Chains A and B, each alone.
Chain A
Amino acid sequence: MVAQQDANAFGELVRRHQSQIRNFLRKLTRDNVLTDDLSQDCFLHAWNKIHTYAGRGTFIGWLLKIAYTTFLQSKRKSNRYHEILEEVGHVEDVNEERVSRDSDEISDLDKFLAILTEEERAVMILSYACGLSHREIGDAAELPIGTVKSIIFRGKKKIRESFEIKDHQYG
């Protein structure tokens, strides 16, 4: 009965935060199907680790940390999978699939994010899309605050050098 009540409460949390988590992962992966899979995994991990949430920092910050870890784990698995495919000579098929998927819709933000490294992209998204403070980003990405600040500075510099930032509206 208690577990059932917990599940109902957790369901409410999922409904409340699903949009932010999916938007974060969508910007990182640029793949809607993968985003939904990773978001589900993220919430499942959150359910399993909910007892470790000590109330320090915001709940969405904690969830975004799990989402980022889930993304990195998936990325590692995917890299290993591509290595295996390369070994057996299927790399061309994979690249063609990726090109066709990526060329579906390229937004301005995608172009901006493309010039950043994976770490810079994650930190910039956490900062500008999710609105986390430097401290919260440090917690989520497991980086010192100084490093977070320098990554944001570097990311902004890259964007500034590559594009003229105008009043963009993502979408």
Chain B
Amino acid sequence: MKSKIINMVDRLKDSEELRLEAMFKSDPLPDLGFSKKVMTRVRRQMWIRRLTMPVALVIGGSIAIKPASDLVITVTKVFNALPSNLTSLAVDLPSLSVDSLPQMTTFLVSGAIALIALGFVRALED
């Protein structure tokens, strides 16, 4: 109610107000393909949005698949060793090839590349 009263007060016009309105008034602009251009950009953006996540997943997945599979293999080996004999595990662990363990740097680089890919796709979108 209060805001309605304020709006009505705002709208009270004297002759100067009306003259200013007439001066600022302009004819409606014809569309001339403007809406079509906007909607083309909107639809393009929608497609890029839809593709962003799958593309990022494919890029990130293809980079991370090797270290991830190495990790799975190593963890499986460790879990297989555990139930048989905990004492022998202590002896067996050093025998596991160090090369088969996924390196932290590989994970970090993969993550960074995935993030950059995401950022790149977002930048393309913008």
A interface residue numbers (CB < 8 A to B): 3, 7, 10-11, 14-15, 18-19, 22-23, 26-27, 36, 39-40, 43-44, 47-48, 108-109, 112, 124-125, 128-129, 131, 133-135, 145, 156, 159-160, 165-171
Contact = CB atoms under 8 A, between A and B. Distances in A.
Contact of A128 (B3, B10, B23, B29): B23
Interface stretch (B34-42, B80-88, B93-101): B34-42
A7 B6 contact: no
A7 B22 contact: no
A146 B41 CA distance: 39
B23 A165 contact: yes
A168 B23 contact: yes
Contacts of B17: 128
B28 A11 contact: no
B32 to A, nearest CB: 10
A40 B23 contact: no
For chain B, give the interface size range: 20 to 34
Give the dominant DSSP class at A's interface.
helix
A167 B39 contact: no
A135 B3 contact: yes
B123 interface: no
Contact of B6 (A134, A166, A168): A134
